Amino acid sequence: MGKTIFITGADTDIGKTFVSLGITLSLKNKGYKVGYFKPFQSGAYEKDGKLIAPDPNEFLKYSPEIKTKYSYLFKGEVSPHLASLIDDIEVDMNKVKKDLDEFSSQFDYTVIEGAGGLYCPAIKGNLFSDIIKTLNQEIIIVTTPHLGRLNHTLMTIECAKLNNIKIKGLIINKMPDNPTLSEANFTKELKLFSDIEILGIIPEIKEITKDSILNAFSGICP
């Protein structure tokens, strides 16, 4: 089995899929065999009679040859736990572990993306922090410099520590060209209150293309 990189966030809708895509494309561009794994995918939609998984589908737009996999696909655009209840699907963590082991054995790196944050309800009786521990993963936390996110980021770091989850580092996403006072000082303040390594700062990309993503992630070495 190759190396794994587990991406989580300080909040929902923070760019976890985009960061997962950026890291995957960057590693692939460096010559590594890379796959993308999503244990639980919510928000599936129908197209041409097929049920589409939205996050893996993003990868197809920029690099169709990248292999992706999910264990469970739900229709509801809600937490995996609630979505599984709505769809009446019983989740088996043994299947998730087996899927990850078999899938990751094909690659040098497998990028794994969670849903929401560490305390997002994942399956019955388990938050995503529990899933991460079950899969024995070290995490990269994605955050943004927007007002209020310092609080969310520091709480996510403390949450990981309380749950004995190792943190590989932080990626600050969506840094504006013309940041506000809060955004301009986000990294400095974060370093005052946390010693977690900042792996990279990703600028807000106006035109998202494969080349612009590769350029933004060129200096990041997870």
Contacts of 82 by beta carbon, 8 Å cutoff, 6+ apart = 76, 121
Q: How many helices (H) and strands (E) are present in the chain, helices listed first?
A: 9, 11
Q: How many CB atoms are located within 10 Å of the residue 181 CB?
A: 8
Q: How many CB atoms are located within 10 Å of the residue 221 CB?
A: 12
d(Cα 85, Cα 102) in Å, to the nearest integer? Answer: 27
d(Cα 202, Cα 143) in Å, to the nearest integer? Answer: 10
**Left if phi > 0, otherwise alpha if psi is -120 to 50, otherwise beta: which for 219?**
alpha
d(Cα 25, Cα 167) in Å, to the nearest integer? Answer: 22
Reference 111, options 68, 78, 150; nearest CA is: 68
Strand locations in 18-166 (E):
34-41, 45-47, 50-52, 67-73, 109-113, 121-123, 126-127, 139-143
SS3 50: strand
Clarify whether 188 is annotated catalytic.
no
| Catalytic residue chosen out of the listed positions 28, 38, 69, 174 | 38
Which of the residues are catalytic?
A: 38
